[in-house]
Amino acid sequence: MAAGYELVELNGKTLRIKWDPLTRSPLIIKSRNAALLKVENITAVSKKDIEKLGGLLVARYKELFKIEPAQLQLKAAEKVGDTWYVSYWQTFQGIIIYESSLGFYIDPEGAIKSVGAVIYPQVEIPDSNKISRKRALEIAKRQVEDYQELGYRLLAESLLIYSKRKSAAVHYYRVYAFNFFPEKATDPASVVGGWAIFVDTQTGKVVLKQTLFKPLGCCLPEPGE
């Protein structure tokens, strides 16, 4: 057996699982003797049907994932040849958890044989914002050098949960997430980068400042998207 994996017997299947050392949630689940989930009549499956599959999978293996099926929100579903490639965000209180994921592929026979995930079973965040969006936006703008001179503009924003991994635990922040790009970066041929600034909704503290590269996409997911 590959290093870092544990054998677990569940639902009549022998599973190989690699665990996240901080959250104790599964990073990878592989079935040794049967599909984790079998999709019947796969040739007739639509994207709307795919949207429900993540929840079905989480429900079947809930004691491993330790989250509710309703916490998944479809991120992408693409059919390449006869194979579906599917990914979801995890949400909490209806808010997307930044960089969370659950993904798998469905083979031409309708079998899901493995799952990769970055999920958070024990999220704790405040129920509301103490800092207004207006104040947070001003704080974020001040983090961008030459904001006025280069004509930066707000191109995307969202309310997110940001998970910050530390040596012994994961800390969670309810944040305003802003994406800024200079005006000339909006040209389709431009490769000028921008900034993602995450501001804590409770304290106004900047918890993440990250360079964005326009060719890789600039926009954060909107809640409910």
Q: Specify the 3-state DSSP secondary structure of 202.
A: coil
Taking the C-alpha atoms of residue 131 and residue 221, their distance in angstroms, rounded to an integer, is: 21
Q: In which band, very low, low, confident or very high, does the pLDDT at 183 lie, cut at 50, 70 and 90?
A: confident
Looking at residue 150, its pLDDT comes to 86
pLDDT at 224 over 50: no
pLDDT at 222 over 80: no
DSSP bridge pairs for 205: none
Q: Helix %, strand %, coil % for the chain, to 5?
A: 20, 45, 40
pTM for the model: 0.89
Looking at residue 208, its pLDDT comes to 96
Looking at residue 43, its pLDDT comes to 86
Q: Please give the residue that has the higher pLDDT: either 213 or 179.
A: 179
Q: What is the residue extent of each domain of the chain?
A: 5-118, 133-216
**C-alpha separations of 158 from 96, 97, 115, 222, 225 in Å:** 9, 11, 28, 6, 11
Looking at residue 199, its pLDDT comes to 98
- How high is the mean pLDDT of the chain? 90
Task: Find where tokens 């809640």 sit.
Answer: 223
Looking at residue 215, its pLDDT comes to 44
Looking at residue 223, its pLDDT comes to 44
Looking at residue 190, its pLDDT comes to 59
Looking at residue 2, its pLDDT comes to 62
Burial class of 5 by CB neighbour count within 10 A (0 to 12, 13 to 18, 19+): middle
Q: pLDDT, tens digit, for every residue of 15-58?
A: 999 999 999 999 999 998 889 999 998 888 888 889 999 999 99
pLDDT at 126 over 50: yes
Looking at residue 164, its pLDDT comes to 95
Looking at residue 160, its pLDDT comes to 97
| Domain with residues 5-118, CATH architecture | 2-Layer Sandwich (3.30)
Looking at residue 200, its pLDDT comes to 98
